[in-house]
Structure 1
C-alpha cells in the first residue's frame, strides 16, 4: 500500500512548518515543491522531502506530481503562500482533488479586479483608482484627496504599501515602486486608495462560516508593519454582526467559499469598510492565536478539507490570545539577540519565535519582512494577556550596528525610521 502524501507548494517561513507538522499529525507524508528548496532548510532538517521545481510552470508541476504519484498516494495539494494558491487550484482540478476555484483566486489576488467586483456588489470600501505611471498616481491622489494609500495591485504582506500624506511623499514612493527597486510579480500597476481611518480587524472564515474576528495594531505611519494582534477582538454584538455580514458578502461577490478566507476591515465613521480580501488562511501567528483562543486548529481543519475528510470548527476554548511583534528600530547588522529563553519561561507565554540569527543584515522596507520575531501569550482575560506579553518582550534584547552614513542616505524602500536603542518594548 502506497504512503499517503500531502503536496505543499512553496510556503512562508512561519506558516509552512505548521502545515508540515499538521500533515504529519494526520498521518500524511509532507512533500514540499519549491523553486528553491534551500529556502526550506528548516523542513529538510526535520527529515522532510523538498523537491526543486519551477513553481511558476504549471506543466512542470503537473509532471512532478505525476511522477510522485507513481510512488505515493497523493491525498491532497495545497499551500500557505498566496502567490501560488491559484496554481494549487489548477493542480487540484487536473488531478481531480478538492481545492479552491483558481479563477476566483486569481481575481481576488488582483487587488484592482477585487475592488471592481466588491464595488459592483455594493460592498463598503475606500475610493480607489488604478495607475500605471507617475502622472496617473499624482492625478489619482489629487482626485481622491490626501492622504492616500499607495500600493502594488498584486502583492501581500504590506510589500510596497505606504501612506502618503503629501505630494512629495507620493512622488518619492512612486519613484521607489516604478524605479526598479520594487520586485513586481506582474506588470507594474499601482492602486491609489482613500485612507480609511479607524481600528483594524480581520475575520477568519472557513467555507462560509465565520470562525472569529481579530484586532490588529500597526506600528507608526506611513508604514503598515504589524505591532500586535489580539484574538478575539473586543467588539459589541452589533459591531461583530456587521463585520461578519460584510465579510460573508465579500465571499459571494468574489465567488469564494471553499476553504479559508481572511477579510481585513477598518471600522470607520461609516462603519465597517473592507480593506482587502485574502483567499487563504491568515499567516502565523494568526492561526496559532485562533487555536489558543478558541481551540480551533485552522491548519489541520484546512488539510482535512484538502484531503476530502470532514472538518470540525467546534470551539473548545474561550480565552484571549495575543501576539507582539519584534521590530528593529534601525537598519544595520544584527550583532546579537537574546532573552528568548527567559521570555518563553514566563507563565502564560505560548511561543517565542526569533526569525533572524546574529550577523544578519537588516534593511527595513516597511513590510512583513521587517519583523525579526514575535511572542504569543494567552490567558482568560485581555488585561492579563497584555501584562504577560509585556513581561516577556521586556526580556528580549538585541544590538544592531548601523550601516555606514553613505548607505543611510539612500532611499532603500518605503521605510526610513529614526534610529533608536534596540529592544522589544
Structure 2
C-alpha cells in the first residue's frame, strides 16, 4: 500500500474497484478532481497510482468480509466522506458498506433490486412501470413454457450479469436450446445477487439509455444515449451517441424517474435502459451506477455535465453540479476483429482533428474472437474511437472516418478436424 498526504484537509472518498484504464481511467481522474481518493482493488495498482492517496488490495472485493476489513483498515488511517463504485459487480456490496459506515448511498434493498433483474422486474410490475414482461426460469422446460406464454421472439439473459453477457434473442422454440446453453454458461459467472436466468419479452424498436442523477430522492434526467446494437441474436453495443438537448430526453425522463423510484433508488448516478416501442417507451432494466463504454465521457463532451464528479459529490453527501455548459454531440464506436484468431497487424492512420480519441484493446500476438463470449463482455472488441462534433451529423461522420483509419488483420484460428 502507498501513503501520501492529501492536498487538502478534507475527508476522503473511497472507490471500490477502478476497472480497466481505456474505458474507466477518466472516472478516477474526474472524481480525483474534487476529492482525495482511497481505492480498494483486486490487483496491485498501476495506472491508478497518480489519482490515489492510499489503497488496499483485496483478492475478491465482492466478498463482504474481506471488503469490510479493507475498508476498516483505510478508515483507521483516513477520515471517510463517502464510498462509491462504478462497477456493476460491486453495486450491492458498496451500498451495504456505505450503510455500515453511516455514509450516503442507496439502501441495500434498492441496490439489490437493480442487480437482480428478476426482482427489479417485480418492482416495476408492482409500481405500474411500463417494462418488458419477465419470468424467472430455472430449466429449459420452464423457459419453453414461459416463452409460449409471452410469445416469440423473447430474450433470454442471466439474472444478474452485465455487459450483455449471455443475452440472446430467441425467435423460435428451435432456437431455445442453444440460447439456454449460452445463458446458463453465463449464469455460472454472474454475481451472487441473482440466480438462474430471466426470460423476457422482446421489445421491438430503437434502444436508448437515460443517464440520470438522483440526489436525496429527486431525479434529474441529464442525457439520452442512442445505441447501435449488432451481432444478432446477441445484443452487443457497436456505438453510442449523446447530443445536448436531445428532443427525446423530455419524453423518457418521467419514465426513467418512475423506474428508479420503483426500485427505491435515492442517491447516485444511474443508467436506465429502455426501448421505444409502438406503444411508447418501456424499461428494459436499470443499472444503479455510471454507464460503461465511456458514456459518461460522451455526456461531458456533449453537455458539459460531469457525471463522475456528480457521483462523487453525492457519495460524499453533497449536491451535484448539473448545469450544462456545452451544446454539441459526441459518439463512441467499437472496432471488432474480422475473425477469430491471432492479431498479426494493427495500424491507425493519423486523424485530421483534435476532437478525436482512439484506443486499441488488443496487441499483436493476442488471440481475439468475433463470437460473443458467455463470460467476458469485451473479448470481441479490438479498439474504440471517441469523437466530438458541433452537430449529430458531423460527429457521426468523424466517427466513421476514425474507425475507417483503423486496420486490423487476424490469422484465423485453425478449424478443428471432425
Report if TM-score (shorter chain) is over 0.5.
Answer: yes
Query: Where in structure 2 are the equivalents of 1:11-410 lying within 5 Å?
Result: 11-13=18-20, 14-28=22-36, 30-34=37-41, 36-38=42-44, 41-44=46-49, 50-53=55-58, 54-178=60-184, 182-186=188-192, 188-207=195-214, 208-232=219-243, 236=247, 239-339=248-348, 342=350, 345-347=351-353, 349-363=355-369, 364-365=371-372, 367-406=377-416
- Give deviations 1:134-189, integer Å, cap 9, x for gaps: 11111111222221111011111101100112223210121233368852333741
Residue 225 of structure 1 deviates from its aligned partner by: 1.0
Report the number of matched residues: 400
- Give the Cα–Cα distance (whole angstroms) in 2 for the partners of residues 43 and 406 of structure 1: 42
> Contact (CA 8 Å) 1:176, 1:182: kept in 2 or not?
no
Q: Give yes or no for contact 2:208–2:224 (8 Å, CA) kept in 1.
A: yes
Contact 2:116 2:159 survives alignment (8 Å): yes
Compared with structure 1, are the counterparts of its residues 353 and 50 closer, same or farther at alpha carbon in structure 2 (3 Å cutoff)? farther
**Shift in alpha-carbon separation, 1:241–1:90, aligned structure 2, 3 A:** same
Contact kept? 1:225, 1:368, Cα under 8 Å: no
Q: Relative to 1, partners in 2 of residues 1:50 and 1:328: Cα closer, same or farther, differing over 3 Å?
A: farther
Checking the alignment, whether the CA contact within 8 Å between 1:123 and 1:249 is kept in structure 2 is yes
Conserved? CA contact 1:202–1:265, under 8 Å: yes
Q: Contact between 1:337 and 1:398, CA under 8 Å: does it hold in 2? A: yes
Please state how far the C-alpha of 1:71 moved relative to its aligned partner: 2.5
How far the C-alpha of 1:48 sits from its partner, in A, is 7.0
Q: Compared with structure 1, are the counterparts of its residues 181 and 115 closer, same or farther at alpha carbon in structure 2 (3 Å cutoff)?
A: closer
State the distance in 2 between where 1:176 and 1:279 align.
25
Quick check: 1:281–1:287 contact (8 Å CA) kept in 2? yes
SS in 2 for 1:227: strand
Given the alignment, which residue of 6, 10, 14 partners 1:7? 14
- The aligned residue for residue 421 of structure 1 is none
Instruction: Provide TM-score, normalisation by structure 2.
Output: 0.88
Residue 156 of structure 1 aligns to a residue whose secondary structure is coil
- For structure 1, the residue ranges without an aligned partner over 5 or more in a row are 410-425
Q: Residue 140 of structure 1 contacts residue 192 of structure 1 at CA under 8 Å; is this kept in 2?
A: yes
1:229–1:322 contact (8 Å) kept in structure 2: yes
Q: TM-score, normalised by structure 1?
A: 0.87
**Would you say the 8 A contact 1:9–1:88 is kept in 2?**
yes
- 1:357 deviates by 2.0
Shift of 1:391: 1.4
How far apart are 1:260 and its partner, in Å?
A: 0.8
Alpha-carbon offset, residue 194 of structure 1: 1.6
**Partner Cα separation in structure 2 for residue 47 and residue 398 of structure 1:** 35
SS in 2 for 1:70: helix
SS in 1 for 2:56: strand
Moved over 6 A (4+): 45-48
Judge conservation of contact 1:164–1:222 (CA < 8 Å) in 2: yes
Counterpart Cα distance in 2 of 1:86 and 1:179: 23
Distance 2:50 2:173 in 1: 49
1:348–1:378 CA contact under 8 A, matched in 2: no
Q: Once the two structures are superposed, what CA deviation does each residue of 1:60-86 show, in whole Å capped at 9, x if it has no partner?
A: 222222222232233322111011111
Query: Could you give the per-residue CA deviations for residues 283-332 of structure 1, whole angstroms, max 9, x where no partner exists?
Result: 13100110010011110121122223332000000001111111223211
